[in-house]
Amino acid sequence: MQMQTAGLKQTTFPLRTDIALARSWADLELLCERIDAAYRQGDLDLAGAEELSAFVAWAASSVRPGIPAETLVEREAQCPCCGATDWWRNGVQLACAICHPIPALSVDSRQAA
């Protein structure tokens, strides 16, 4: 990922780097707290805080949910949210068929042949 650094404040650059390297929801949560703290201390203006928050939201889309690996490989693995045992492959990761239904196969989108 290319990151532009020209014109960024000293506070913004390390936060952007840490956001790009985040690998868990816990990492992203801590970064949001750091952004909030920097804004409250006056180290970030509102536009900078909003930009970093949007970057966190974008980065969150590539962070896998915190489902333990053993849950996914068990024969009757249950979703930690709803308890269902139906899974489908969404790219390279498994998704619960109840919490995250397959978009093309949802009942409302089916049409008669």
In tens, the pLDDT along 51-106 reads 999 999 888 877 766 666 665 555 567 787 888 888 777 776 778 888 877 776 55
Domain co-membership, 42 together with 76: no
Running DSSP on this structure, what letter comes out for residue 104? G
Quote the pTM value.
0.50
Domain co-membership, 16 together with 37: yes
Task: Give 39's pLDDT tier (boundaries 50, 70, 90).
Answer: very high
Spell out the alpha helix ranges (H) of 1-113. 12-21, 25-41, 46-60, 69-73
Residues spanned by the domain of 19: 12-60
Provide the domain count of the chain: 2
Closest by alpha carbon to 67, among 52, 42, 37, 87?
87
Give CA–CA dist 83/5, Å, rounded: 45
List the structure tokens of 83: 């308890």
Domain co-membership, 45 together with 80: no
End-to-end CA distance of the chain: 44
